Structure 1
Amino acid sequence: MSDPLVVPAKADPVSDPVVRLSRVTRSFEQGGVRIDVLRGVDLAVQPGEIVALLGPSGSGKSTMLQAIGLLEGGFGGKIEIAGIDASNLGKDARAAVRRDHIGFVYQFHHLLPDFNAIENVVLPQLITGRERAECETRARDLLTALGLGQRLEHRPSKLSGGEQQRVAVARALANKPRLVLADEPTGNLDEATADTVFAQFLELVRGQGSAALVATHNERLAAAMDRVVRLRDGVLV
């Protein structure tokens, strides 16, 4: 087993949450049977706080992140993002909240295959209306900080798994979101690469003052974060 992660000092959260969940529920119908995945989840994540969301496969971690990320409807309860009650927003308004306040990192990188590393990080910035030169500078700085300064022009197919995930991290942080949601962000990497990528992720997130909620089953990664919450039987414990 590799050595424990070495990460920067933990955040000192302030009072107003970046995300607040109040009695959030989610149920599905399968074969005529109702399945309650989330049974009344309460959570507040403060600015600059990095929270580990632990739970076994199938416990609802991804469903909970989808709720917070406003990626689909069908949820009960109240979801507030950056002080905005997003519980009943329409499609366009939800998209605006995601664009302005949330960054995503998934287990699979989901990079655009026809664009190189720097273009994949530039594109989400262009959507906000920034000038291309400013976007390219931001993308280059992030990718260089992640050790990809010599790989900017490479397409995803020419990058290793760890490099692909670093580009995905840079893309998620490009717009300096208030909140970063990460779903098993190093789950496809070997342990040594996962430790390196995750330490870089934590350093960049803390460096720009974002909050993060990271779904993982890895206790070692969870120990490097500010706080751990566990999803069990549809509620946080």
Structure 2
Amino acid sequence: MNRGYGGGPVVRLNNLTRSFEQGGVRIDVLRGIDLTIAPGEIVALLGPSGSGKSTMLQAVGLLEGGFGGDIAIAGEQASKMAADERTRLRREHLGFVYQFHHLLPDFNAKENVILPQLVKGTPREAATERAEHLLGQLGLAQRLDHRPSQLSGGEQQRVAVARALANRPSLVLADEPTGNLDEATSDKVLAQFLELVRGEGSAALVATHNERLASRMDRVVRLHEGHLN
């Protein structure tokens, strides 16, 4: 079970806004988002391409500034934090899975899962044991020493899932995590992702445009014209 955070919502968004200027025109992407995610809850963020799902995940992931409103992660108000404090909060509580795996090409599967743990300060022996456990849970016990170029697309994405969970995050943010895979592989990877996240006790916010995949999660919220409903 995840032990990174034990009380209250993992995420609380209050009146989250984000606007861009394009060609002298103001574009309001997020128009006052309110959302609370409980520990261990898996929430699907559903919406068509261009609806602002990635922008919202960037906000929750503390990956860039320019957002209005309040963002609380694991009980800490992140909106006004300095950059180093936001980095600490990300490292301690958040894991990320993207549509493209973004694995380090010169490192094998196990090393890609070990490295983020070493950055956090986990001893190498414990990090290695954790990497082997997660990759084994995802059916990759025989692929530990293979580099990303030697793995299939589904295998690469499963390594990315293991990497996201390596530091026992309170919350996993996944942006179209199976969007680059064929339907059969997508279904298999998503099932393994959900099983592992639930087994680890982490919460997750998963952006997708796929109604069928969203229906397999605990709750679905829909982003439409900058509002959640």
TM-score normalized with structure 1 length: 0.93
For structure 2, list consecutive stretches of 5 or more residues without a partner in the other structure: 1-5
C-alpha separation in 2, matches of 1:22 and 1:104: 22
Partner of 1:30: 22
Partner of 2:132: 140
Question: Deviation at 1:208?
Answer: 1.1
Contact residue 15 and residue 46 of structure 1 kept, 8 A: no
Contact residue 105 and residue 182 of structure 1 kept, 8 A: yes
Question: Deviation at 1:128?
Answer: 1.2
C-alpha separation in 1, matches of 2:139 and 2:80: 41
Question: Deviation at 1:130?
Answer: 1.0
Question: Deviation at 1:15?
Answer: 7.5
Partner of 1:212: 204
Partner of 1:68: 60
C-alpha separation in 1, matches of 2:33 and 2:205: 14
Aligned pairs, number: 224
Q: Does 2:182 correspond to 1:190?
A: yes
Deviations 1:145-184 (A, max 9, x none): 1011111011101110000000000000001100000000
C-alpha separation in 2, matches of 1:234 and 1:225: 22
Partner of 1:108: 100
2:29 is matched by which residue type in structure 1?
V
C-alpha separation in 1, matches of 2:80 and 2:176: 28
When the two chains are superposed, the root-mean-square deviation of aligned CA atoms in Å is: 0.9
Q: Does 2:154 correspond to 1:154?
A: no
1:107 is matched by which residue type in structure 2?
Q
Equivalent of 2:85 in 89, 93, 114 = 93
C-alpha separation in 1, matches of 2:181 and 2:167: 25
C-alpha separation in 2, matches of 1:24 and 1:208: 29
Structure 2 counterpart SS, 1:215: strand
TM-score normalized with structure 2 length: 0.97
Q: After TM superposition, what 4+ stretches of structure 1 lie above 4 angstroms from structure 2?
A: none
